[in-house]
Amino acid sequence: MLLQISEPGAKAPAAPKRVAVGIDLGTTHSLVATVRDQRPVVLEDAEGRVLLPSVVHYHADRQVEVGYEARAWQSEDPANTFVSVKRYMGRGRGDLPDHLDIPYRLADAPGMVQFETRAGTVSPVQVSAEILKALRERAVRSLGEEIGGAVITVPAYFDEAQRQATKDAAKLAGLEVLRLLNEPTAAAVAYGLDQGAEGIYAVYDLGGGTFDISILKLTRGVFEVLATNGDPLLGGDDFDRAVYDWLLRETGLATPTPGDARRLLGAARSAKELLSERTEAPISVVLSDGTRVERTLSRWVFDTLTESLVKKTLSPVRKALRDAGLAIGDVKGVVLVGGATRMPCIRQAVAEFFQQPPLTDLDPDQVVAIGAALQANALVGNRGGDDWLLLDVIPLSLGIETLGGLAEKIIPRNSTLPVARAQEFTTWKDGQTAMSIHVVQGERELVSECRSLARFELRGIPPMVAGAARVRVTFQVDADGLLSVSAAEQTSGVEAKIEVKPSYGLKDEDITRMLEDSFRHAQDDIEARRLREQKVEGLRLLEATEAALAEDRALLSEDEAARIYQGMAQLRQTLDGSDWEAIKAAVEALNQASTEFAARRMDHSIRRALAGQKLEQLQV
Ligand code: ADP
Ligand code: MG
């Protein structure tokens, strides 16, 4: 094929364009955005609203309503009105947070939760598909053409099952998913942070019912998620609650009717939102018995009422920083996401915590959708230049086989590409000069249950005592998902290397099956792992004791030696069995029996080393 070259100075002919959209499929609200004339725009519904409440209501005749119309049914018909369905995506019954109170009838089915509605059984994927369909229709209407593809955002902590569920929902809604994008990354892209050089960014996302903090690291145009944390049951709704409780206390209303409770809660939310602009908010509610509740809520009182909620967001922030191994001063910028970050008390707390004002130029409701739209636009090739991000994640963990047939994970699944991680390993036997490296992929603890990707050997390690060699194994996955593994012995510099294509041939069904397996067998795996670890520990101790006896048997009395031999025999016996606790006990017993021996050997070798040395030489 010949490459085309345009005349110098002439503009290249515009490629036929496809319209791509970015979708923020949120827990409380969803949005769709696109790029028009190089600028991101958030698309409106027929009434000029950009937010679509993520609420779906099912009628008996299978008619479905989405958004504001659906939300109107929430208190009247909660069992058929789905709010916050995102919490259930890709989740089984056992995965749901403990304190989640569920107004729905859950169907008795294995796998992902299913809801019984009056229109039949529906899955979270189907409910989400209704929201996506509504957004797709909105986009088609306002753009006047079919959508070429969509980037849909997901929380950074979403696992493969949750991501897959999101993709399936898009498929059901007739959308081609160009890519799933992490929400905090989308927010960072919206602020153009990917255009910067390098740095650490924190994304603080307080939505309606969830709080997420993500620590991102930008290097050469690629964001890596260093840590995520949050509180799945903390959001703007809790601030509404605090105002509502205050209203009840103020009015002495102990048990309002469901209708009054809804009105009071609605008024509480409006007052909260108004207080983001003003310092006082009037509240006026007419109750079902005709009485009128009139109060004024000041920002000062509101801040006092919600102080503990604001504080509650900061401990996940601390944890995330700690997990990422970073200090507050390492953070170059803070991005605010989520409608609830409009509250001045939040902005102030974030500014104080990070010792810098957060980025607030973009609308916190829209920032994720805008980033997704920019990414979608780039992916369909409407953006010039080649300096664009290539973000993808590893679907299953990558690691190597260690002693006892255990899989040691080196790159955890869902790591953003490209990624490199290294870990040090050592030799098992004295004088060992080669090491066999077996690269595996999967979530299971045992190598036999993972997928074998490649094997290679590191040879030429200088002979040393067991445990002295330091072999650094580095995993590197480039933006196209190509994995290379290298192993280098640190003291001698000998090196070996191999390239593998990690997910080659792994179909989506395989991934799902492997994940399901890993959930199902998690308990067995822990048992098996303990057993193998204890066996390795037991063998190691036997070997070391044998070596010590061979060298320094003379330091022991007959009695002492007999006790050690007995301990060894006992340990050997337990090693043939499969009771990890018995092995552990035998290891401890042998350790105890040989403590004195070890101490004597130490003394002996120190004396041997010191013999003939002058005192002053020792004092340096
Ligand atoms: P999600 O990401 O969960 O879909 P959103 O980002 O849409 O959530 O945030 C919804 C929350 O933001 C609600 O609790 C809403 O009351 C709150 N919110 C929206 N606007 C404001 C405002 N002006 N002041 C305070 N809170 C607001
Ligand atoms: Mg959100």
Mean pLDDT of 322-326: 90
Q: Where is mean pLDDT largest: 71-80, 243-252, 453-462, 602-611?
A: 243-252
State the helix-helix crossing angle for 508-520 and 160-172, rounded to 10 degrees. Answer: 140
- Residues 496 and 419 reside in one and the same domain: yes
Q: Where is mean pLDDT largest: 40-44, 90-94, 384-388, 421-425?
A: 40-44
CATH number of the domain bearing residue 440: 2.60.34.10
Q: What is the rounded distance in angstroms from the CA atom of residue 193 to the CA atom of residue 197? A: 8
Q: Is the pLDDT assigned to residue 610 strictly greater than 90?
A: no
Pull the structure tokens for residue 294.
Answer: 């009139």
Position 387 confidence tier, pLDDT thresholds 50, 70, 90: very low
Q: Which atom of ligand 1 lies nearest, measured to the CA of 239? A: 14
Higher confidence at residue 99 or residue 370? Answer: 370
Question: Does any domain span residue 183?
Answer: yes
- Residues 252 and 380 reside in one and the same domain: no
User: 197 C-alpha to center of ligand 1: Å?
Assistant: 32
Q: Is the pLDDT assigned to residue 2 strictly greater than 60?
A: no
Question: Does any domain span residue 14?
Answer: no
CATH number of the domain bearing residue 256: 3.90.640.10
- What's the pLDDT at 504? 43
What residues are labeled active site?
24, 86, 183, 205
- Residues 553 and 413 reside in one and the same domain: no
Boundary of a domain, candidates 494, 518, 542? 518
Question: Does any domain span residue 13?
Answer: no
Distant-in-sequence, close-in-space partners of 293: CB < 8 Å, separation ≥ 6: 247, 251, 253, 264, 267, 283, 284, 285, 286, 287
Report the residue among 273, 306, 345, 368 best suited for mutation to probe ligand 1: largest number of ligand atoms under 8 A from its CB: 273
Q: Which ligand is nearest to the CA of 84?
A: 1
- What's the pLDDT at 310? 98
Position 5 confidence tier, pLDDT thresholds 50, 70, 90: very low
- Residues 79 and 186 reside in one and the same domain: yes
User: 407 C-alpha to center of ligand 1: Å?
Assistant: 43
pLDDT tens string 577-605:
888 889 999 999 998 888 888 888 877 77
Q: Which atom of ligand 1 lies nearest, measured to the CA of 210? A: 3
Boundary of a domain, candidates 257, 285, 305? 305
- Residues 214 and 242 reside in one and the same domain: no
Which residue puts its alpha carbon closest to atom 16 of ligand 1?
Answer: 236
- Residues 184 and 67 reside in one and the same domain: yes
Q: CB-based burial of residue 296 (10 Å sphere; 0-12 exposed, 13-18 middle, 19+ buried)?
A: exposed
CATH number of the domain bearing residue 542: 1.20.1270.10
Phi, psi of 325 (to 5 degrees): 70, 35
Q: Is the pLDDT assigned to residue 54 strictly greater than 60?
A: yes
Which residue puts its alpha carbon closest to atom 7 of ligand 1?
Answer: 29
Q: Is the pLDDT assigned to residue 388 strictly greater than 60?
A: no
Quick count: other Cβ atoms within 10 Å of Cβ 50? Answer: 18
Boundary of a domain, candidates 369, 392, 415? 392
Beta bridge partner(s), residue 317:
none
- Residues 491 and 383 reside in one and the same domain: no
Pull the structure tokens for residue 221.
Answer: 């145009």
- Ion ligand 2 neighbours, Cβ < 5 Å: 26, 207
- Residues 212 and 289 reside in one and the same domain: no
Question: Does any domain span residue 620?
Answer: no
Q: What is the rounded distance in angstroms from the CA atom of residue 139 to the CA atom of residue 167? A: 19
CATH number of the domain bearing residue 310: 3.30.420.40
User: 464 C-alpha to center of ligand 1: Å?
Assistant: 62
User: 240 C-alpha to center of ligand 2: Å?
Assistant: 17
Q: Which atom of ligand 1 lies nearest, measured to the CA of 84? A: 3
**Helix, strand, or coil here: 293?**
strand
pLDDT tens string 445-478:
888 888 777 888 888 888 888 888 888 999 988 7
User: 238 C-alpha to center of ligand 2: Å?
Assistant: 16
Which residue puts its alpha carbon closest to atom 13 of ligand 1?
Answer: 208
| Across 1-5, 33-37, 226-230, 353-357, least confident range | 1-5
Preceding omega of 418 cis (within 30 degrees of 0):
yes
User: 272 C-alpha to center of ligand 2: Å?
Assistant: 18
With contact defined as beta carbons under 8 Å apart, do 401 and 407 qualify? yes
Q: How many domains does the chain have?
A: 4
- What's the pLDDT at 88? 92
Which residue puts its alpha carbon closest to atom 12 of ligand 1?
Answer: 339
Which residue puts its alpha carbon closest to atom 6 of ligand 1?
Answer: 338
- What's the pLDDT at 309? 98
DSSP, residue by residue, 402-460? ETTTEEEEEE-TTPBSSEEEEEEE--SSTT--EEEEEEEESS-SBGGGSEEEEEEEEE-
User: 349 C-alpha to center of ligand 1: Å?
Assistant: 17
Mean pLDDT of 94-105: 76
Q: What is the rounded distance in angstroms from the CA atom of residue 393 to the CA atom of residue 416? A: 4
Q: Which atom of ligand 1 lies nearest, measured to the CA of 237? A: 14
Position 293 confidence tier, pLDDT thresholds 50, 70, 90: very high
Amino acid letter for position 477: V
Higher confidence at residue 407 or residue 8? Answer: 407
Position 614 confidence tier, pLDDT thresholds 50, 70, 90: very low
- Residues 399 and 424 reside in one and the same domain: yes
Question: Does any domain span residue 143?
Answer: yes
Give the structural domain span for 249.
236-305
Q: Which atom of ligand 1 lies nearest, measured to the CA of 26? A: 4
| Phi-psi group of 161: left, alpha or beta (phi > 0 → left; psi -120 to 50 → alpha; rest → beta) | alpha
Q: What is the rounded distance in angstroms from the CA atom of residue 290 to the CA atom of residue 525? A: 63
Which residue puts its alpha carbon closest to atom 26 of ligand 1?
Answer: 340
CA dihedral 138, 140, 142, 143 (to 10 degrees): 150
Q: Is the pLDDT assigned to residue 505 strictly greater than 50?
A: no
Chain Cα centroid distance, residue 357 = 26
Position 192 confidence tier, pLDDT thresholds 50, 70, 90: confident
User: 205 C-alpha to center of ligand 1: Å?
Assistant: 10
- Residues 227 and 250 reside in one and the same domain: no
- Residues 440 and 578 reside in one and the same domain: no
Which residue puts its alpha carbon closest to atom 25 of ligand 1?
Answer: 273
Question: Does any domain span residue 7?
Answer: no
Position 1 confidence tier, pLDDT thresholds 50, 70, 90: very low
Q: Pocket residues for ligand 1 (CB within 6 Å)?
A: 26-29, 207-210, 235-237, 269, 272-273, 276, 338-340, 342-343, 365
pLDDT tens string 372-382:
999 999 888 76
The number of residues in the chain equals 620
Q: What is the rounded distance in angstroms from the CA atom of residue 370 to the CA atom of residue 188? A: 10
With contact defined as beta carbons under 8 Å apart, do 200 and 209 qualify? no
- Residues 319 and 259 reside in one and the same domain: no
Question: Does any domain span residue 2?
Answer: no
Mean pLDDT of 58-62: 85
Question: Does any domain span residue 617?
Answer: no
Q: Is the pLDDT assigned to residue 502 strictly greater than 60?
A: no
Which residue puts its alpha carbon closest to atom 24 of ligand 1?
Answer: 273
